[in-house]
A and B are shown apart, each in its own frame.
Chain A
Amino acid sequence: MTGTLTRRVPVRSRGFSRLLDLRLLAVCLGAVVVGVVATALSVSLGEFAIPLGDVAATLVGAGTRTDEFIIVGLRLPRALVGLGCGMALGVSGLIFQTLVRNPLAAPDIIGVTGGASLTGVAILILGAPPALLPVGAFVGAVASATLVYALAWRGGLSPYRLVLVGIALAAAFGAGTSYLLVVGELIDVQRAAVWLVGSLNGVTWDAFWPLVVGLVVLFPATAALTRALDALSLGEESAVALGVPVQRARLGLVVVAAALAAFAVAASGPIGFVAFIAPHIARRLSGLTGAAVLPAAALVGGVLVMVCDLVARLVLAPIELPVGTVTAVVGAPFFLWLLYRANRPVRGG
């Protein structure tokens, strides 16, 4: 812990003074580099491979029409939506984990994603226009988050009640989803099953722009709440002592985290495990805890989804797997290891 002091450098200019953590900076820069490489590979590789030189030419407007269609029309939006979803999920997961002070909390567990799954599957099974799918999933996520919050409210919100109510509602939503899968026609059920795993197959710019709007609004909101999040991560008493309006801060954080998850689910379906593991990877790489990890969690989440989607496209080509299968296969063992580590009596204090 003493080491953390030596790798922080003060950054000051007029009216601004912050400690810059060099290792966090290195992690973020590393993630950006990996992200750029992954984006380049995502638009280059595939059934119709396009050399990187032609990719560059196309991006500055000098490519062939075919290349332009494949890159700008198909692969670039997919890579960017993956990036955006991953960033949203990483931040959402970090907020929930820090707020609940438990490494296992995530929007997947506490019902937010469950509500989105239910409404999304309802739209796919009950024959509503498929264009409604993102809207329906978004509404489902927001509605279930509101329901979880309301049912967990009892003269104030305790994170523990939030988690437990969320788990119960997630089970109920899961039962509803299963019911829809039982009554649906097999062809719809197949589409729903793929969507339920979380898939970027066939996403377009239509999915990208709402996501960007969401991130542009919600990331600054998250930044504004970081001090409160850090204070809450010390426990309720400490947060009160530090002058944080606990209930308002919790409400704000839950709203932001749930909305981030909702935007991600609307764009891609419920991609599992990213919200779990991205914050953990970010914490381990940066050696930090609490809200300071937020930028790293966002970048790690984004890169994670993009790389997993690249793998999902290429591993069984020409069959495209849903990205959620890859995040599950990659995430599951890591997750189990994490669970084991996270609960070991280590790092006293």
Chain B
Amino acid sequence: MTAATASTAEERSAPPLATGTARTAGLVVGLALLLGAVLLSLAVGALPVPPAQVITAFTDWAGTDAHVAVRELRLPRTLIGIAAGAALGAAGTVIQGVTRNPLADPGILGIEAGAAFAVVTAIYVLGITAVTGYVWFALVGAGVAAVVVYALGASGRAAASPVTLALAGAAVAALLTALTSALALLDSGTLDAFRFWVVGSLSGRDLGTLAGAEPFILVGLLLALYSTRALNALALGEDVARSLGQRVAVSRALAALAVVCCAGGAVAVAGPIGFVGLVVPHAARALVGPDYRWIVPYSLVMGPILLLVADVLGRVLVSPGELQVGIVMAVIGAPVFIWLVRRGKLVQL
């Protein structure tokens, strides 16, 4: 097992936000940015709404088109964006920490594909349309995929390298996607509904969907926050973590549960959206350094910002139509992934 030898000089250089005060201030700035992203998400779209009217839609309801657009259409998708963004950001951070793999992401590793396959099965094959029903499928699908991918990528002679894990994830994702599309070929009605679900989008979902999945996301987020110390210890290597008093198996299991709850919940509300969990932890790490006690809270703020901005971009780019957020994220995320791969030796976390 390679232990703490891996961190390079580049990683050790002090992050921009090195002190507790700076980090707290950064978090406050992040929250302000998130508020800005929320306002953007409420204001921008096929019917642009001035910021003043966005406010009055909540304080002084007049029932105008603008107010309806803000409260009936954009508020649900914004709230879903916040929940899914936080969940995916946290899931990515925890999975990168627990696998010590800088390229881990619930999308790349097939976990979202597992949840998506389970949800599509539940909705279109078993006829379970209530989110309270199919959210369980999402969790089980995510959990099974996570276990399979980790077992495949991390077992064997060589320790789990970023490459073996990514390949196992991509292979499992390919398998599940093939099976999911085979289901969609069953009849044209299924295909028609399915093609909109599977791209990953914040629109066309209502607050009831969010309410059904929110408890699981909250549990996942709390577990992620609880796991931060364990992730810090695991980053030093399994042996060191154990000698620091961590029960490694328990820590890993809790972290995995956090990932499954977050990723499964996010897929249940918004469909599979990739790369959020890849990009967010790297951005957070670049700001605050390798301490997961800070990375996780930062990713909880940065995930929603990223997802909301991507969603707004999707509305602006092909206006009056829209580009689903899952597609925008792939366009943003794939180059980041490639950049991470190209920037030299893969840094082990």
List the interface of chain A (C-beta within 8 A of B). 102, 104-106, 108-109, 151-152, 154, 160-161, 163-165, 167-172, 174-176, 178-179, 181-183, 186, 189-190, 193-194, 196-197, 272-273, 276, 322, 324-325, 328-329, 332, 335-336, 339-340, 342-345
User: Are the C-beta atoms of A109 and B185 separated by less than 8 Å?
Assistant: no
The answer to whether A194 touches B330, judged by C-beta atoms less than 8 angstroms apart, is no
Name, among A183, A336, A343, A344, the residue most crowded by chain B CB atoms within 10 Å (CB to CB): A343
Is B178 part of the contact surface with A, judged by Cβ < 8 Å? yes
A250 to B8 CA separation, bound complex (whole angstroms): 29
CA distance A197 to B183 in the complex (A): 11
Q: Assuming A108-B174, A151-B338, A164-B341, is B326 touching A178 (CB within 8 A)?
A: yes
Asked if B163 and A196 make an inter-chain contact with CB atoms under 8 angstroms apart, the answer reads no
Contact A339 B185 (CB under 8 A): no
Chain A residue at smallest Cβ distance from B152: A339
Contacts of A170 in B (CB 8 A): 170
User: Which residues of B (185-212) have their CB < 8 Å from a CB of A?
Assistant: 185, 188, 191-192, 195-196, 198-199
Contacts of A332 in B (CB 8 A): 175, 178-179
Check if B168 is an interface residue, CB within 8 A of chain A. yes
Q: Is B324 an interface residue (CB 8 A)?
A: yes
Contact of B156 among A176, A276, A325, A345 (CB under 8 A): A345
Contacts of A182 in B (CB 8 A): 195-196, 199, 324
Known: A194-B185, A332-B178, A345-B155. A165 touches B192 (CB 8 A): no
The answer for the CA separation of A156 and B292 in the assembled complex, in Å, is 35
A-B contact count (CB 8 A): 149
Task: Determine how close the nearest CB of chain A comes to the CB of B173; give it in whole angstroms.
Answer: 9
Q: Interface residues of A: mostly helix, strand, loop or mixed?
A: helix
Cα separation A31 to B330 with both chains bound (whole Å):
42
How far is A335 from B179 in the complex, measured between Cα atoms in Å? 13
Other-chain contact of B107, A169, A171, A272 (Cβ < 8 Å): A171
Provide the residues of chain A in CB contact with B152, threshold 8 Å: 339-340, 343
Check B12 for interface membership: any CB of A closer than 8 A.
Answer: no
**8 contacting pairs across A/B (C-beta < 8 A):** A104-B170, A109-B171, A164-B103, A167-B108, A182-B199, A324-B178, A336-B175, A344-B155
User: 9 closest Cβ contacts across the A-B interface?
Assistant: A175-B330, A172-B334, A343-B156, A168-B337, A104-B167, A164-B341, A178-B199, A168-B334, A175-B327
Is B9 interfacial (CB-CB < 8 Å)? no
- Assuming the contacts A167-B108, A332-B179, A345-B157, asked whether A176 and B327 have C-beta atoms less than 8 A apart, the reply is yes
Contacts of B182 on A, CB cut-off 8 Å?
197, 325, 328-329
Do A335 and B192 have beta carbons less than 8 Å apart? no
Cα distance A256–B251 when bound, in Å? 46
The residues of B that contact A325 with a CB separation of less than 8 Å are: 182, 185
Residues of A within 8 A of B324 (CB): 178-179, 182
Q: How far is the CA of A77 from the CA of B341 in the complex (A)?
A: 43
Task: Decide yes or no: A344 and B167 within 8 Å by CB, A169-B334, A182-B195 being known contacts.
Answer: no
Closest to B189 in A: A186
Residues of A within 8 A of B192 (CB): 186, 189
A172-B334, A175-B331 given as contacts; is B195 within 8 A of A163 (CB)? no
A160 and B337 CA atoms in complex are apart in Å by 13
Interface membership of B274, Cβ < 8 A: yes
Q: Which residues of B contact A189 (CB under 8 A)?
A: 191-192, 195
Cβ–Cβ contact B178 & A109, under 8 A = no
Known: A106-B171, A175-B274. 8 other contacts (CB 8 A): A152-B342, A168-B338, A171-B334, A186-B192, A339-B171, A343-B156, A345-B155, A345-B157
State the Cβ distance, A190 to closest chain B Cβ, in Å: 6
* Chain B residues, Cβ within 8 Å of A154: 342
Residue B137 is within 8 A (CB to CB) of chain A in the complex = no
B260 at the interface (CB under 8 A from A): no
A259 to chain B, nearest CB (A): 21
Least CB separation from A160: chain B residue: B163
Look across to chain A and name the residue whose beta carbon is closest to the beta carbon of B273: A175
- Tell me if B323 counts as interface (CB < 8 A to partner A): yes
Q: Is the CB of A109 within 8 A of B330?
A: no
Q: B294 to chain A: which residues have CB within 8 Å?
A: none
